[in-house]
Amino acid sequence: MLAFLGGTGPEGKGLALRLALAGEEVVIGSRDAARAQTAAEELAVLAPGTSITGADNLAAASQAESVFLTVPYEAQRPLLEQLSQVLADKVVINVIAPMVFQRGRGASALAVEAGSAAEEAQMLLPQSQVASAFQNVSAEELLDQSHTMEGDVVVCSDSPAAKELTSDLTRKIPELRPVDGGSLANAKYVEQITPLLVNINRIYKIHAGIKIVGL
Amino acid sequence: MLAFLGGTGPEGKGLALRLALAGEEVVIGSRDAARAQTAAEELAVLAPGTSITGADNLAAASQAESVFLTVPYEAQRPLLEQLSQVLADKVVINVIAPMVFQRGRGASALAVEAGSAAEEAQMLLPQSQVASAFQNVSAEELLDQSHTMEGDVVVCSDSPAAKELTSDLTRKIPELRPVDGGSLANAKYVEQITPLLVNINRIYKIHAGIKIVGL
């Protein structure tokens, strides 16, 4: 089972939907179990016959073998301090891109002392295997089943097992391709592509993603 | 005429070669005029019938209407302090991605107080129009005329004229596509893609570039 903590937001819902459609059992997590259940019911309507449930973040993390972090960056530290025991020995896939929006300036990357949200998560979860991935996949397009995804998912991790699992999950979403982005120290570059894409989206009125060419 | 300051390195030579092949008059600049002339002669052999000359950086910058910065980041500040007068009212295209290489860790982005090399250049050249572009185009592939380029050049600038000129020059290199990356404040995200690509290159033994999908 895969848990999506903070999975009531668009990115979490979109990834949960696509992976449920690929046959994965999915649980949406939220601080508020009722909100998680509402989100799960919405997704179940979009994808009849799939296994999508909702629970509070702790219950969702406890049930799952692997866990996606799709909370806003500000919520990462308190969430992981609360869940470090239950996440021990699990693969934790960090989708968070720390960003702020300022009127007239668009999106900017937030400075993170650890370098990246993913490295901070690994520090807070020393017994988990953290991978960084999926930051640059459009939530709107994930949620639109009629849309075939395109682009690459750069996967960074210091754990070969976490990198392999994350890459395998990427391949379950048709047309998405995992790219080995090396160690977790490279996650900061991938997280910082997100504000660039958000600003490009605003200029072109699109939902941009990235592809590594030459591969 | 286009000048390539620090154009004896692979990125400067590669861009100079491709733009000379596209019909642009090109001057290679270097601290050492003799080295610039040697590089120009090497390129002229690769591209007979084109206009490629060499000069010291000051003479190259003086002759040109538009100037590419292709020096290592460490050389940017002293170069621009020396040339700020001669570069006034010109378009300056910053190709620099501030990076360090560490044994066993690969490439990492250098922290730049101004945010990016391009923003630092604009601060040092208040009378010039600075654009940021071409950091993520492989020098090896630019220098290999048999290779058709692929990928996107994200162009950031606070000057609409500089952005337009840089985009027009991008289109002169077959198959490269300019993408409007918004203001110069976004240059840091583009510059930081370079160490990520360098590290991906090492993993896959390729010359990677990027493409914005969804455009």
Q: What is the pLDDT of residues A10-48, one digit of tens each?
A: 999 999 999 999 999 999 999 999 999 999 999 999 999
Comparing alpha-carbon positions, the chain B residue that sits nearest to A193 is B189
pLDDT, average across residues A73-83: 98
B212 and A190 within 8 Å at the Cβ level: the answer is no
pLDDT, average across residues B10-32: 98
Comparing alpha-carbon positions, the chain A residue that sits nearest to B209 is A213
pLDDT over 90 at B104, yes or no = no
Which residues of B are less than 8 Å from A211 in CB distance? 210-213
pLDDT band for position A142 (cuts 50, 70, 90) = very high
Distance from CA of A108 to the nearest CA of B (A): 8
A192 and B190 within 8 Å at the Cβ level: the answer is no
Distance from CA of A145 to the nearest CA of B (A): 16
B213 and A213 within 8 Å at the Cβ level: the answer is no
A-interface mutation test, from B200, B203, B207, most A Cβ less than 10 A away: B200
Which residues of B are less than 8 Å from A151 in CB distance? 213-214
CA A213 to chain CA mean position, Å: 23
* A193 interface with B at CB cutoff 8 Å: yes
Q: B26-30 and B2-5 as β-strands: parallel, antiparallel, unpaired? A: parallel
* Cα angle: A131, vertex A38, A167; to 5 degrees: 20
Task: Assign 3-class secondary structure to B110-143.
Answer: CCCCCCCHHHHHHHHCCCCEEEECCCCCCHHHHH
Which residues of A are less than 8 Å from B154 in CB distance? 196, 200
Nearest to A151 among B106, B141, B213 (CB): B213
Which residues of A are less than 8 Å from B200 in CB distance? 154, 179-182, 212
Q: What is the DSSP letter of B149?
A: P
Cβ–Cβ pairs < 8 A, chains A and B: 110
Comparing alpha-carbon positions, the chain B residue that sits nearest to A108 is B186
* A98 interface with B at CB cutoff 8 Å: no
pLDDT, position A103: 87
**Can you tell me the distance from the alpha carbon of A155 to that of A178, in angstroms, rounded to the nearest whole number?**
7
pLDDT, average across residues B160-168: 98
Q: How confident is the model over B174-209, as pLDDT tens digits? A: 999 999 999 999 999 999 999 999 999 999 999 999
* A147 interface with B at CB cutoff 8 Å: no
B193 and A197 within 8 Å at the Cβ level: the answer is no
pLDDT over 90 at B72, yes or no = yes
A15: enclosing H helix or E strand: helix A10-21
Q: Which amino acid is at B46?
A: L
Task: Calculate helix-pair angle for A73-83, A117-124, nearest 10 degrees.
Answer: 20
pLDDT, position B103: 87
B211: enclosing H helix or E strand: strand B209-213
pLDDT band for position B105 (cuts 50, 70, 90) = confident
pLDDT, position B48: 94
pLDDT, average across residues A111-125: 98
- Chain A window 6-65: which residues touch B at a Cβ cutoff of 8 Å? none
A188 and B189 within 8 Å at the Cβ level: the answer is no
Which residues of A are less than 8 Å from B214 in CB distance? 138, 141, 150-151, 206-209
- Percentage of chain B lying above the pLDDT 70 cut: 100
pLDDT over 90 at A104, yes or no = no
Average pLDDT taken over every residue of chain B: 97
pLDDT over 90 at A105, yes or no = no
* A214 interface with B at CB cutoff 8 Å: yes
The tokens of A196 are what? 């660039």
* CA dihedral sign of residues A191, A203, B184, B164: positive
pLDDT band for position A62 (cuts 50, 70, 90) = very high
Q: How far is CA A141 from CA A11, A209, A213, B184, in A?
A: 10, 10, 21, 28
A213 and B209 within 8 Å at the Cβ level: the answer is yes
pLDDT, average across residues A184-192: 98
Question: What ipTM was predicted for this assembly?
Answer: 0.96
pLDDT, average across residues B119-124: 98
Nearest to A203 among B180, B196, B203 (CB): B180
pLDDT, average across residues B54-60: 98
Distance from CA of A106 to the nearest CA of B (A): 10
